[in-house]
Chains A and B, each alone.
Chain A
């Protein structure tokens, strides 16, 4: 093999290597998720998260003390009924960060219940943290709690 021939081969190998390097650096378009669910589905999921379940869903009952202590003692039966209905609706059907409000024109008391976080326990049970702001007799009381969904669709207040 002549020196000239070897030089030609070297140039060819260099050219091939450069081509591979350049191709490797070239953008192949938008990043794509190899194992993802897809942008369109994610958009739909965001919408589903925001849409919640709507007001027509039959909400389960609330198990445990939703409003306890001295504040609970100051609520009448109608207040309690409204409070439980609002909490059930909020936990079952309303996205985190959105509120369900109730008011009782007879007592003048008002309240909002807002789920703030949804998660699953190790056993797969759904739980939702929530805030509750109740205005009773002109005084505002804010509380935080967690409720977990039982298999029968009821929500149990766990703290």
Chain B
């Protein structure tokens, strides 16, 4: 529960710069989830999810060298170095976008508890709370 609250706080904190620039109130978790729902059908498809994750990779890649280092990755709340090491398939100490997307795609599979190929709001909610 505590981890979830911290995650929510970090989400609001991370979204603050852009939100602040547009003079809007802080985004809620639901708004953040809906941000990936490009076609507004109330669900996040794998394509929508991976599109959003490409954006995430770009923004987390601080020096824009095309790879995520462990230092860059650990700026993400909830980041687990052991999982980073597992995702690093060629063991070069950094994640390429391909490695990253393959790994995060497995997270999508894990979150899709009813195996229908899309994430509903409840699935996303329980997934990030784990």
Chain A residues at the B interface, C-beta cutoff of 8 Å: 30-56, 93-98, 117-120, 124-126, 128, 149, 153
Cα(A117)–Cα(B126), bound, Å: 28
Interface assignment of B53: CB less than 8 Å from any CB of chain A:
yes
How far apart are B63's CB and chain A's nearest CB, in angstroms? 10
- Chain B binding surface, main DSSP class: helix
| Residues of chain B within 8 A of A149, CB atoms compared | 64
| Residues of chain B within 8 A of A30, CB atoms compared | 110, 113, 126, 130
Contact of A51 among B14, B54, B97, B109 (CB under 8 A): B14
Q: Is the CB of A46 within 8 A of B56?
A: yes
Most buried by B among A50, A94, A95, A126: A50
Known: A36-B104, A97-B38, A119-B54. A55 touches B18 (CB 8 A): yes
Most buried by B among A32, A33, A47, A118: A47
Q: Is the CB of B78 within 8 A of A38?
A: yes
Apart from A93-B18, A118-B55: 16 A-B pairs, beta carbons within 8 A: A30-B130, A31-B113, A34-B86, A36-B106, A41-B77, A42-B128, A44-B10, A46-B32, A47-B32, A48-B60, A51-B14, A54-B16, A95-B35, A97-B35, A124-B97, A126-B66
| Residues of chain A within 8 A of B96, CB atoms compared | 124
Chain B residues at the A interface, C-beta cutoff of 8 Å: 3, 7, 10-11, 14-18, 20-21, 27, 32-33, 35-36, 38, 51-60, 64-67, 76-80, 83-84, 86-87, 96-97, 100, 102-107, 109-113, 126-130
| Residues of chain B within 8 A of A51, CB atoms compared | 14-18, 59
Cα(A153)–Cα(B107), bound, Å: 32
Cα(A125)–Cα(B103), bound, Å: 21
Known: A30-B130, A36-B104. A44 touches B78 (CB 8 A): yes
List the B residue with the shortest CB-CB distance to A126.
B58
Most buried by A among B15, B18, B66: B18
Q: Is the CB of B52 within 8 A of A49?
A: yes
Cα(A33)–Cα(B59), bound, Å: 24
Q: Is the CB of A94 within 8 A of B18?
A: yes
| Residues of chain B within 8 A of A45, CB atoms compared | 53, 56, 60, 76, 104
How far apart are A23's CB and chain B's nearest CB, in angstroms? 21
Q: Is the CB of A44 within 8 A of B79?
A: yes
Most buried by B among A39, A42, A125: A42
